[in-house]
Amino acid sequence: QVTLVESGGGLVQPGGSLSLSCAASGSLLNIYGMGWYRQAPGKQRELVVSVTPRGETNYADDVLGRFIVFRDMTKNTLELRMSSLKPEDTAVYYCNAGFVVAGTYRPTSWGQGTQVTVSS
């Protein structure tokens, strides 16, 4: 079992920056991949970025170059640094843990989410 707790969400103006943090606890954390999903109102949950235990990353096209993820295997934390934020980035952001199977990331554990609102 993996427990995930997100923090750092809030209100930011377009073009601004915001960092999210995820604290993980449980057993065998080093075998899991991790990532961030987001879900905007009326839309399906989408993968923002995934990170393997070795630190390999896979970003969604619409956040590449604006978002950067950092995984600290010692502290068991996952940070998402967001910049040049757009109103369409508004969503609930969920930290997750899972496995990469045949090149596909499959989340199995989820945090409760943290709200990010980008608005003037």
Q: Which two tokens stand for residue 103?
A: 């090149």
The reported pLDDT for the residue numbered 28 is 85
Q: List b or e across 58-97, with b for residues whose CB sees 16 or more CB atoms inside 10 angstroms.
A: bbeeebeeebbbebeeeebebbbebeebeeebbbbbbbbb
Contact 75/108 with Cβ under 8 angstroms?
no
High-pLDDT (> 70) share of the chain, %: 100
Contact 109/94 with Cβ under 8 angstroms?
no
What does pLDDT average to over the chain?
95
22: exposed, middle or buried (C-beta count within 10 Å: 0-12, 13-18, 19+)?
A: buried
Kindly report the number of other CB atoms within 10 A of residue 100's CB atom.
17
In whole angstroms, what is the distance from residue 27 CA to residue 39 CA? 28
Say whether pLDDT at 104 is over 90.
no
Give 42-66 pLDDT, tens digit per residue. Answer: 999 999 999 998 889 999 999 999 9
